[in-house]
């Protein structure tokens, strides 16, 4: 049997770029705004086809988001694309005020999030973005897991009225969503039924969670697997059901465990259905230098790490 991590890998940036070009061909309101990141945002094809609809502000992220808000105020649908670490850290005030508080129709695309720039170290890791942005009212926060979901999220973002932040993975990932999958904001995706323990995962690590579920099944552990594409709005109902119907929840994310998916799950069960929770991600520290896959393994955000967390919840460790 082919396991999750043995499937062909894809760069979600290719899907994002192709989808944006297709959308722009049918909607002249769509424009792109970048911070000297045409290449890393995979927007060379967009620039070639629509040279008058891409604004390159240079290395000026605060200006970039402000310009995006201005274009939205003028009736455009701006996709503001930059490395997630710089987009969210340098322009957080503009995201809060110009996009969210003003409720301008800005689409923020965080490229290469998490620890995708692994060898460049802590300055380029974007592990705090989910925690920061989840705390901002009126901003949707979405983390696609594979190319199929990435395409659907970008199409939804273009049609949705309001500010949106989307993580677009640089680290190649396998297909994990079913062929008939339809993205619905605020809805978790049940990838596997299970009655012993639940794994809730988001983004690049959903495939690792699927691998963990396969390993657990071989040990006689029944894992319910939830992919959680929208950190905000959050699928409270799915998490409450998991807390009620299984013996605990393990969360997995390519982010800090302080305030991201793990925080959202913990807050939910405390308020609605108390249950044991184990959070897998980067602890309260600056992640070191290393490849993205090595860093995930280092912090136990792996099939083996999730399996061990499941065992621990079930008292089998």
**Residues 265-284, mean pLDDT to the nearest whole number:** 97
Rg (CA), the chain: 19
258, pLDDT greater than 80: yes
Euclidean distance between the first and the last CA atom of the chain, given in angstroms as a whole number: 27
Q: Check residue 46 and give its pLDDT.
A: 98
What is the reported pLDDT for 303?
97
Mean pLDDT of 46-72: 97
Choosing from 6, 61, 93, 217, the catalytic residue is 61
DSSP 170-193: -S-EE--S-TT----TT--EEEE-
Amino acid 1: pLDDT: 47
- In this prediction the pTM is 0.96
Segment 172-211, tens digit of pLDDT? 999 999 999 999 999 999 999 999 999 999 999 999 999 9
Distance (Å, whole) CA 315 – CA 196: 11
61 classed as catalytic: yes
pLDDT > 70? residue 78: yes
Mean pLDDT for the chain? 96
| Res 4 pLDDT > 90 | no
| Alpha-carbon gap, residue 235 to 225, rounded angstroms | 14
* Per-residue pLDDT tens digits for 107-148: 999 999 999 999 999 999 999 999 999 999 999 999 999 999
State how far the Cα of 26 lies from the Cα of 259, in Å rounded to an integer.
Answer: 38
Question: Could you tell me the domains of the chain?
Answer: 4-174 (3.40.50.970), 189-313 (3.40.50.920)
Question: In this structure, what token pair is assigned to residue 162?
Answer: 């309001």
């Amino acid at each position: 049997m082919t396991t999750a991590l043995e499937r062909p890998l894809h760069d979600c940036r290719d899907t994002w770029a192709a989808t944006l070009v297709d959308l722009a061909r049918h909607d002249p309101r769509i424009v792109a705004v970048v911070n000297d990141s045409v290449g890393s945002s995979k927007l060379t094809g967009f620039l070639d086809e629509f040279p008058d609809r891409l604004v390159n502000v240079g290395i000026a992220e605060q200006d970039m988001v402000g310009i995006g808000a201005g274009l939205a105020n003028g009736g455009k649908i701006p996709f503001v694309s930059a490395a997630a670490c710089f987009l969210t850290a340098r322009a957080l005030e503009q995201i809060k005020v110009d996009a969210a508080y003003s409720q301008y129709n800005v689409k923020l695309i965080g490229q290469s999030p998490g620890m995708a720039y692994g060898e460049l170290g802590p300055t380029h890791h974007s592990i705090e973005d989910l925690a920061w942005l989840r705390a901002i009212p009126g901003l949707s926060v979405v983390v696609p897991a594979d190319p199929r979901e990435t395409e659907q999220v970008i199409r939804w973002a273009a049609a949705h009225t309001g500010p949106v932040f989307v993580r677009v993975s640089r680290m190649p990932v396998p297909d994990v969503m079913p062929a008939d999958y339809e993205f619905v904001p605020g809805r978790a995706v049940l990838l596997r039924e299970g009655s012993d323990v639940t794994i809730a995962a988001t983004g690049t690590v959903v495939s690792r969670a699927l691998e963990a579920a396969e390993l657990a099944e071989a040990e006689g552990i029944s894992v319910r697997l939830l992919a959680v594409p929208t950190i905000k709005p959050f699928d409270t109902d799915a998490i409450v059901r998991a807390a009620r119907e299984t013996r605990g929840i393990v969360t997995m994310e390519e982010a800090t465990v302080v305030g991201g998916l793990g925080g959202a799950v913990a807050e939910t069960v405390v308020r609605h259905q108390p249950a044991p929770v184990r959070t897998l991600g980067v602890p309260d520290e600056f992640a070191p230098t290393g490849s993205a896959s090595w860093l995930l393994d280092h912090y136990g955000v792996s099939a083996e790490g999730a399996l061990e967390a499941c065992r621990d919840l079930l008292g089998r460790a």
